[in-house]
Amino acid sequence: MKSYLAAAIQMTSTPDLEKNLTQAEEWIEIAVRRGAELIGLPENFAFLGREEEKLAQADAIATKAEKFLKTMAQRFQVTILGGGFPVPVKGEATKAYNTALLVDPSGIEISRYEKVHLFDVNVPDGNTYRESKTVMAGNALPPIYVSDKLGSLGLSICYDVRFPEIYRHLSLKGADVLFVPAAFTAMTGKDHWKVLLRARAIENTCYVIAPAQTGNHYERRYTYGHAMIIDPWGVILADAGEQTGLAIAEINPIRLEQVRRQMPSLQHRIFT
């Protein structure tokens, strides 16, 4: 693993698939021009609209999103995470997997994760979310992708961040970098987003790359923003704020080793 720049992209995705992909491409190109070698797109980067509309277009979204990720990775010669898009479930017309896909610079899929924890919550602002109505939960722990160049990368999606056992599994498997792409609600984000991300970084002494959605997507659907990159000590290295854009920061193996030497908590675990 060497030092390199990573970028967490922040978008305001809508129900317009083509517009979303165009927006994503623009930010990927900006990230590449700024030197990023590892780029993360947020959950729902390709489509953020009504659940019934998502299901009706799931085949098209999945096909175009996957092709887009592979094309962008190959064109710009970078590794890209598509942080979450619907992939239809075979034999189940009313459900899709919320899928994160990691693609290498040759355009080859190197890691895939189907979101396990589904957001079924009555939020205090009056909005009700029932992700399980249209999403099939994955049934496997997130994978680790080991790269000599980028380190060991662990995947997760949004609501997973509230379940620390996911990240403990990833750290046990040797993760250096934890991806948390999200479309965090504005209401919960203001109180919990930064706290949870910093906690996952600190307790696992890992870098956290958290691409995010921001603003108003349709009707009453608002997200919090603040895509960020956090170091293993819990220091926020970059924060995209509330506008579309990106957070970009260095992933440094020397810093990783330093923190793990100063705070060797991973070595002190009793229960695994």
Q: For the chain, which domains are there?
A: 4-268 (3.60.110.10)
Q: How far apart are CA 233 and CA 245, in angstroms?
A: 25
Q: What is the pLDDT of residue 92?
A: 85
Q: What is the pLDDT of residue 84?
A: 95
Chain-centre distance for alpha carbon 7:
11
Q: What is the DSSP letter of 131?
A: G
* Sign of the C-alpha dihedral computed for residues 119, 213, 82 and 8 taken in this order: negative
Over the chain, what is the mean pLDDT?
96
Chain-centre distance for alpha carbon 175:
15
Low-confidence ranges of the chain (pLDDT < 50): none
Joined tokens for residue 216: 């108003």
pTM, entire model: 0.97
Give the model confidence (pLDDT) of 81-105 as tens digits: 999 999 999 988 899 999 999 999 9
User: For residue 85, which of 71, 106, 69 has the smallest C-alpha distance?
Assistant: 69
Q: What is the DSSP letter of 218?
A: E
Give the list of residues 6+ apart from residue 257 with CB closer than 8 angstroms, or none: none
Q: How far apart are CA 260 and CA 262, in angstroms?
A: 6
Place of tokens 């609209």: 49
The share of the chain scoring above pLDDT 70, in percent, equals 100
Q: How far apart are CA 86 and CA 96, in angstroms?
A: 5
CB 24 within 8 A of CB 246: no
The residues carrying an active-site annotation are 43, 115, 158
Q: What is the pLDDT of residue 227?
A: 98
